[in-house]
Amino acid sequence: MPEAMATARASDNTGNQATQQVDVAVVGAGFAGLYLLYRLRKAGLKTVALEEAGDVGGTWYWNRYPGARCDIQTIDYSYTFDPDLERVWTWSEKYATQPEILRYLGFVADRYDLRREIRFGTKVTTARWDEAAECWQLTTDNGANVSCRHYIMATGCLSTPKPPEIDGVKDFKGEVYFTGRWPHDEVKLAGKRVAVIGTGSSGIQSIPFFAEQAAQVTVFQRTPNFALPAHNGSAPADRKALLEKDRAGYREQARWSLAGVPYPQQTVVSWQLSDAERRERFERAWAAGDLVHILTQLWADQGVDVDGNALVAELMREKIRASVNDPDTAETLSPHDHPFGAKRPCLDTNYYATYNRPNVTLVNLRQEPIKAITATGIATDKRSFDVDVIVFATGFDAMTGAITAVHPIAGRAGKSLSSVWANGPQTYLGLTVAGFPNLFMITGPGSPSVLSNMVVSIEQHVDWVVDRLSAMREAGFTVMEATETAQAGWARHMSDCAMLTLHRLANTWYTGANVPGKVQGVMPYTGGVGPYRSICSEVVSRGMLGFKLSGPNVAEQCNDGEVVRLQPDVRLVLNMLADMNLPPIETFGAAGARLFVNEFNKSRPLGRPVGEVVDGTLPGSDGPLPYRLYRPATPGPHPIVVYFHGGGWVLGDEQSDDPFCRDMCRRSGMIFVSVGYRHAPEHRFPTAAEDGYAATRWIAEHAVELGGRSGPVLVAGWSAGGNIAAVTCQLARERGGPQIAGQLLVCPVVDCTFDRPSYTENATGYFLTRSLMYWFWDIYCSPADRTDPRVSPLRGKLEGLPPAFLVTCEFDPLRDEGIAYGDALAKAGVPVEQLQARGHFHSSFTMVDMVITGVSGREKMADALRRFAGQAGASENARHARTAPRPEVDAAE
Ligand code: NAP
């Protein structure tokens, strides 16, 4: 039953009425507000929308500067909730103009009769959570105040223009305009001298129009931006055909894509392509004139890897040089300070060519900052420019501005949202805030919003919120509030996601860097639209995880917790593996499991190039053993790392950790020799241990022949290979050599006890299962032998061992024994560093180029190896090998 006591009224200026009582109050009548009204009405909830503007449109109502268009293709930038609406509306261009988008939103409002629930010309002046009545009390500047159970901010992300921070604006005697608040009446520029401050999307779209009209245009640029020609016209035939062939499928693909536009995920990385192939892809993207295409379809590492990104940036700069006649101007227009895509790139029509016009001048504010605005124009610290008009295209207080700066919002105990967000916006899912019951944000900070096709994100948010309100009502709940735990978890997940992409490497409105004094941090969710959608669904399927629900006649419900504790890419990999529905590996038998692993490994990204890869054999404890040697491209001789692959003493070979060995060889600048030790069940305990020791001794004795540095070697291994590396160190100490300078143990098996908590907590669901570990142990080692230090090195003597770097992963059955080994080594006086990787699983660090968040861990491993080898500091080689930003991996002291 709707709780509203009074009918929502249309715009009312009498200012004297009783409080308007509704179930839901919405602020804003743009894309989000209109769809909310549609859905809320259908759900039977009494609603009012409060809109400051005189009509619908939101950002498209205000941003009406010349040249304003959308920069997502209009066939994608449209509502999809009603197939009939899609049939009756046809866009005239690939990128619709602002007037056409505004007409579309007016058409939608009329078609669904939405205006009757909108109070235009009405601003909310305060919003307060009323603890006693359990509803929001709103005051407005026009007409009745509002009392509502639920309060939804559909205020948009880019709707509060940034005030000019330049001294003297008030002294200027000419005309002043803001692109974000462009007048509704025609602005006449003919014959005038126009100054434009700002070269973001708004400046880049409008400057060519100003140049055509005005006598002189002077552009004041602080930071150049990348722009791609829109090639506007009719909608491209290929995209249209895709849509028309299967409209529902096309829309569904968009909903699960990364950016809200149905493009496939690229899998080929930049270094797998030749220069010619990269250029061909780039030219195709340039010709397509589509930001989502050029941001996602060139190569898989363009958005996550500084080197992969630099290739795109240089091709973009080449285009700028080709478009602008004056080389100095071209250079000034060329961005060098941020990765391509880290700052929102722009879509332009004739932008660069405009600088070839005689009436356009570019002023580089990096060389001559603005000193002040004067009565007659703009003074830099070198010159004065007399102008008639100043246009501020200086952007917005993005994402939080429209929520906190527009009106005070007071939640529980009167706490203001501004104070709660004093150190940056805190939200759960970007939709809700702990301490602010029944308050929702559409495309709020913490949601994919501005990094996606906004309409797709808006529809998802609105559907999720309205579905929750309906479900609450059915269950008798009246109040819904995020918990602090869930919110803190979301903040952690947000920051994990932010480490995956390059957005944090640019000073932009995405990070709040454009507003002086604003706390900085990546505000939108960078994990992608599809993953975000699946997380929102997971919150529901796990019993409204992270929300407290209460109502007058029902028991309170709170299923507290964090929805994502895995690193974002680990979550994707595990979901992908779960979708494959593989039978447990142990059910294949040893031979079948080996075949399976070989096949599985074929689908992973190839390892990166190293200087040389050599296959050979070495004498083992009982016959020859194969090895594969990875040599860095840098001049040698290099220290040698003897490496033991993973596979539970049963699976794998000297090639099976190829991507990891290549990566570590590049990062450390060391030779990696991966040893093909013998496996169980053919060769049971202690064969692997003895082979490992014999191989290490032989390699140490033949270091120079192998092209390595003479002197002590290092050992490393992952999983069962970590076991062999640890055991080798103990055997070498006992048997008088070889000398080992350090040991790198990645998720090693070190003990035969299975009752540590990690074995139970991570028994299933993280690829390496408890039952698989039991199987490995049974095949390799009979119970009577298991306490032997050659298989359970934790039970051996630990004094006098080489320094160790020990890596454990949170979601790994082997976690606790690894930590125990590190602690025991330290207790025995062995220098040891532990990296306890939060959110990672057993294979995180060996899934090179799949688990990008593993990069920083491998950097730390390489640093440790260099320290062990007496090569302090990052080598030049390692710096070059840096393949991605440095994600934070929690490391224990
Ligand atoms: P913006 O991207 O934030 O650009 C603002 C520009 O003003 C930047 O060049 C900035 O320089 C400059 N600026 C700001 N304060 C300044 C100061 N005090 N002195 C000198 N220069 C100053 O804002 P926007 O162009 O309005 O675009 C914002 C976002 O709105 C876009 O990224 C896009 O998402 C959306 N938008 C989309 C379209 C479209 O095509 N559909 C059109 C317009 C806007 P710095 O970079 O050095 O800070």
* C-alpha of residue 400 to centroid of ligand 1, in Å: 16
CA–CA separation, 115 vs 889, rounded Å?
Answer: 51
**Ligand 1: which residue has its CA nearest to atom 15?**
394
Separation of CA 23 and ligand 1 centre (Å): 37
CA of 203 to the centre of ligand 1 (A): 7
Residue 68 alpha carbon, nearest atom of ligand 1: 42
Pocket test of ligand 1: the residue of 61, 98, 514 to mutate, having most ligand atoms within 8 Å of its CB, is 514
Which tokens belong to 508? 């932009």
669: amino acid identity, one letter: G
Distances (CA, A) of 256 to 29, 214, 239, 580: 26, 45, 17, 18
Rounded distance between C-alpha atoms, residue 717 and residue 364, angstroms? 53
Any ligand 1 atom below 6 A from CB of 341: no
Copy the structure tokens of residue 341: 């895509």
* CA nearest neighbour of 491 among 530, 533, 436, 546: 546
Ligand 1 near 29 CB (within 6 A): no
Cα–Cα separations (whole angstroms), residue 295 to 227, 266, 302, 312: 12, 11, 8, 9
User: What SS3 state is found at 537?
Assistant: helix
Q: Among 222, 340, 343, say which to mutate for ligand 1: greatest number of ligand atoms within 8 Å of CB.
A: 222
CA 82 to ligand 1 centroid distance, Å: 33
Residue nearest to atom 40 of ligand 1 (CA): 71
Residue type, 505: L
Give the atom of ligand 1 at the shortest distance from the alpha carbon of 222: 47
Q: What is the pLDDT of residue 5?
A: 35
Measured CA to CA in angstroms, residue 97 lies from 66, 212, 832 at distances of 9, 18, 62
What is the predicted pLDDT for the residue at 849?
87
- Spacing, Cα 179 to ligand 1 middle (Å): 10
Task: Compute, in angstroms, the gap from residue 94 CA to the centroid of ligand 1.
Answer: 23
* Cis geometry, peptide bond prior to residue 681 (ω within 30 degrees of 0): yes
Closest residue to atom 48 of ligand 1, CA basis: 514
Angle at 428 between CA 424 and CA 430, to 5 degrees: 70
DSSP string, 689-733: HHHHHHHHHHHHHTTTTTTB-SS-EEEEEETHHHHHHHHHHHHHH
- 489 with 560: CB under 8 angstroms? no
| Ligand 1 contact, 862 CB (< 6 A) | no
**Does residue 205 line the site of ligand 1, with CB under 6 A?**
yes
Q: Whose CA is nearest to atom 37 of ligand 1?
A: 201
Distance CA 618, CA 620 (A): 6
Instruction: Check if 348 has its Cβ closer than 6 Å to any atom of ligand 1.
Output: no
Ligand 1 centroid distance, CA of 1 (Å): 46
Residue-wise pLDDT tens digits, 205-250 = 999 999 999 999 999 999 999 999 999 999 999 999 999 999 999 9
Which amino acid makes up residue 800?
G
Q: How far is the CA of 219 from the centre of ligand 1 (A)?
A: 13
Among protein residues, the one with the nearest Cα to ligand 1's atom 46 is 223
Residue 158 in contact with ligand 1 by CB distance below 6 A: yes
Residue of 705, 805, 808, 704 lying closest to 747 (CA atoms): 808
User: What pLDDT, on the 0 to 100 scale, is given for residue 253?
Assistant: 97
State the closest ligand 1 atom to the C-alpha of 165, by its place in the atom list counted from 1: 18
- Say if CB 253 and CB 265 are below 8 A apart: no
pLDDT at 873: 60
> Is any atom of ligand 1 closer than 6 Å to the C-beta of 508?
no
Q: Which of 70, 202, 351, 449 to mutate to test the pocket of ligand 1 (most atoms within 8 A of CB)?
A: 202
CB 344 near ligand 1, within 6 Å? yes
**∠ Cα 255 256 259 (to 5°):** 75
Q: Which residues contact 423 (CB under 8 A, 6 or more apart)?
A: 519
Q: Is 344 helix (H, G, I), strand (E, B) or coil?
A: coil
DSSP codes of every residue in 347-362: EESSHHHHTTSTTEEE
CB of 665 closer than 6 angstroms to any ligand 1 atom: no
Rg (CA), the chain: 31
Ligand 1 proximity of 201 Cβ (cutoff 6 Å): yes
Mean pLDDT per 10-residue segment, the chain (893 residues)? 37 62 98 98 98 97 95 96 95 97 98 98 97 97 97 93 90 96 95 98 98 98 97 93 95 96 92 96 97 96 94 98 98 97 96 98 97 97 97 94 90 96 96 98 96 97 98 98 98 95 93 92 96 98 98 96 97 94 94 93 86 96 95 96 98 97 98 98 98 98 96 97 98 97 98 97 97 98 98 98 98 98 98 98 95 95 97 52 38 32
Q: Is the CB of 509 under 6 A from ligand 1?
A: yes
Ligand 1 contacts CB of residue 449 (under 6 A): no
State whether the beta carbon of 222 lies less than 6 angstroms from ligand 1: yes
Residue with tokens 């075949």: 595
Q: Whose CA is nearest to atom 45 of ligand 1?
A: 223
Look at ligand 1, atom 35, and give the residue with the nearest C-alpha: 201
